[in-house]
Amino acid sequence: MMFQSQKYEYLWIFLLLIGFLSLIIYSILKFIARENKGPEKLTSYESGIEPIGEACIQFQIRYYMFALVFVVFDVETVFLYPWAMGFYDLGILSFVEALIFILILIVGLVYAWRKGALEWS
């Protein structure tokens, strides 16, 4: 099989150009930038406030549940947009399917509400 570099010559030129420009910009920035490494700059946080306690703390599960419920209902509403755009072309069967879909969403919302997944306190 013959090597077909003609198809990729613009890709290689582009990659070489990007690599060359990246090196030039990085070199110029290293030459121009000031190095200011004071004691505050070398701390964990540049605000100068010393951290208190452990960095790894355990979050309560309700934050994750609240985020998960939000993502589920947010993503599911995205599925309704294409249906709404083609509503007149799809017919009555697609309308019934969309109603069933919305009913399942409402049942899921009521279930999450009853289980307390929407409570932020």
- Residue 12 token pair: 């290689």
Per-residue pLDDT tens over the stretch 94-104: 888 888 988 98
pLDDT at 66: 77
Tell me the percentage of the chain whose pLDDT exceeds 90: 16
Taking the complete model, does pTM exceed 0.85, yes or no? no
| Helix intervals (H) in 33-91 | 61-85, 87-90
Structural domain 61-115, CATH architecture: Up-down Bundle (1.20)
Go through 31-61 and write b for each residue having 16 or more CB atoms within 10 A of its CB, e for each that does not. eeeeeeeeeeeeeeeeeeeeeeeeeeeeeee
Instruction: Report mean pLDDT in 10-residue bins for the chain, 121 residues.
Output: 68 93 94 76 65 73 79 81 81 86 88 80 66
Report how far apart the first and last C-alpha atoms of the chain are (Å, whole number): 67
Sequence-ordered list of residues with C-beta below 8 angstroms from that of 108, at least 6 positions apart, any chain: 72, 73
Cβ contact 46:40 at 8 Å: yes
Amino acid at 40: E
